[in-house]
């Protein structure tokens, strides 16, 4: 039997990262005042129906209509007022974004021209189809972190393909002020490194300089972060019953099945087989009841 290339599967089929991504689908009545509380995240609000105004930072009372999307950067104090009944989809995410290979952050910075421009774009086909698919999942109470990551990446792919670089640069302008390339490079290449030393070398930095820069951008040590990613990778592979336990043991360098069992008990509180059964084909399932339900907040 041909051995399974698990690293290839993880890198392409699965989206393993330290992303913080959530989608919220909401409807609000006319004259409702909305507020944003998750200031540590960036937000893209897709207005699907109705009209509203929105204010944050220096932008005050900007009119937004159905068919428009608004980027709200982290650390914003944002409020909005619904002029009609509204329906919107909110994407909330941290700033660890991997753009398509043909569009990197430095390239977008070259188009960083206009200042103090409200961060709004039309929702252009085929993006409405992507938003409709996300709305469908939420209406049917289908929610998991893996699916959110897939859809977030699909949205950014639509921005890359169907919008000009100037439009994307203007829309995501606040993100361009951050050192996004380092984060993106780490997330994209950490799977090829066996330890912190190798990852630092891939980033062309000394271990000391890499660790200092990593802590600044990820708010964690590289060692702990890599261990967490390894656990996430193994968790996803355990959810796929087509992948044998022996293949996972071999791929991740466990010395024996007993060693792997000890690892799983420590990380997941169960043996590999028991934990695989408990996943029941779902990864990090999130009940909609655990999402934010306060209609006064984004």
CATH number at residue 130: 2.60.120.280
Given a cut of 90, whether residue 69 has pLDDT beyond it is yes
One domain for residues 229 and 153? no
Tell me: do 79 and 151 sit in the same domain: yes
Q: 66 and 98 share a domain?
A: yes
Of 178, 207, 222, which marks where a domain is finished?
A: 178
Q: Is residue 286 part of a domain?
A: no
Residue 45 and residue 170 in one domain = yes
β-partners of residue 68 are: 47, 122
**298 within domain boundaries:** no
pLDDT at 289: 39
Residues 116 and 40 in one domain: yes
Residue numbers of the domain that contains 92: 21-178
Do residue 128 and residue 198 come from a single domain? Answer: no
- Smallest CA-to-CA distance from 90 within 125, 56, 47 is with 47
70 shares its domain with 149: yes
In this structure, the answer to whether residues 99 and 202 fall within a common structural domain is no
| Any domain includes 230 | yes
11 in any annotated domain? no
Q: pLDDT digits over 166-194, tens only?
A: 898 889 887 766 566 677 778 777 877 88
The mean-pLDDT minimum among 108-122, 129-143, 195-209, 267-281 falls in: 108-122
Q: 232 vs 14, 15, 17, 85, 217, CA distance in Å? A: 11, 10, 8, 40, 20
Same domain for 71 and 147, yes or no, is: yes
Q: How confident is the model at residue 71 (pLDDT cuts 50, 70, 90)?
A: very high
Would residue 187 count as lying in a domain? no
Per-residue model confidence as pLDDT tens digits over 4-48: 343 333 333 334 445 678 999 999 999 999 988 787 788 999 999
- Looking at the structure, tell me whether residues 174 and 200 fall in a common domain: no
- The pLDDT of residue 15 is 40
pLDDT at 116: 62
Q: Given 125, 146, 178, which residue is the final one in a domain? A: 178
Verify that 172 and 212 share a domain, yes or no. Answer: no
- Identify whether 162 is part of a domain: yes
Q: Say which CATH number the domain at 245 has.
A: 1.10.10.60
HEC profile for the chain?
CCCCCHHHHHHHCCCCCCCCEEEEEEEECCCCEEECCCCCCEEEEEEEECEEEEEECCEEEEEEECCEEEEECCCCCCEEEECCCEEEEEEEECCCCCCCCCCCHHHHHCCCCCCCCCCEEECCCCHHHHHHHHHHHHHCCCCEHHHHHHHHHHHHHHHHHHCCHHHHHHHCHHHHCCCHHHHHHHHHHHHHCCCHHHHHHHCCCCHHHHHHHHHHHHCCCHHHHHHHHHHHHHHHHHHCCCCCHHHHHHHCCCCCHHHHHHHHHHHHCCCHHHHHHHHCCCCCECCHHHCCCCCCEC
Instruction: Give the model's pLDDT for residue 280.
Output: 63
Mean pLDDT of all residues in the chain? Answer: 81
Residues 103, 164 share a domain: yes
Query: What total number of domains does the chain contain?
Result: 2
Instruction: Specify the pLDDT at position 55.
Output: 92
């Amino acid at each position: 039997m041909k051995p399974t290339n698990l690293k290839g599967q993880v890198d392409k089929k699965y989206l393993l990262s330290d992303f913080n991504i959530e989608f919220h689908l909401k409807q609000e009545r006319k004259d409702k005042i909305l507020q944003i509380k998750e200031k540590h995240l960036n937000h893209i609000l897709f207005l699907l129906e109705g009209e509203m105004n929105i204010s944050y930072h220096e932008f005050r009372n900007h009119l937004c209509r159905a068919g428009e999307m608004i980027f709200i950067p982290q650390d914003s104090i944002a409020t909005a007022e619904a002029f009609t009944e509204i329906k919107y989809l909110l994407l909330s995410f941290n700033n660890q974004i991997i753009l398509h290979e043909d569009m990197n952050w430095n390239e977008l910075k070259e188009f960083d021209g206009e200042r103090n421009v409200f961060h709004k774009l039309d929702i252009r086909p085929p993006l409405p189809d992507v938003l409709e698919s996300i709305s469908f999942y939420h209406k049917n109470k289908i929610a998991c972190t893996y699916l959110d990551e897939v859809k977030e990446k699909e949205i950014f792919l639509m921005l890359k393909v169907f919008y000009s670089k100037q439009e994307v640069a203007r829309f995501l302008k606040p993100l361009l002020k951050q050192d996004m390339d380092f984060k993106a490079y780490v997330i994209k290449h950490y799977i090829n490194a066996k330890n912190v030393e190798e990852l630092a070398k891939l980033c062309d930095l000394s271990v000391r300089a890499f660790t200092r820069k990593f802590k600044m951008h990820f708010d964690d040590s590289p060692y702990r972060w890599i261990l967490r990613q390894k656990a996430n990778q193994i968790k996803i592979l355990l959810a796929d019953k087509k992948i044998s336990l022996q293949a996972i043991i071999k791929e991740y360098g466990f010395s024996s099945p007993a060693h792997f069992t000890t690892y799983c008990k420590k990380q997941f509180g169960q043996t590999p087989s028991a934990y695989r059964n408990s996943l029941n084909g779902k990864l990090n399932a999130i009940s909609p009841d655990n999402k934010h339900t306060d209609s006064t907040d984004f």
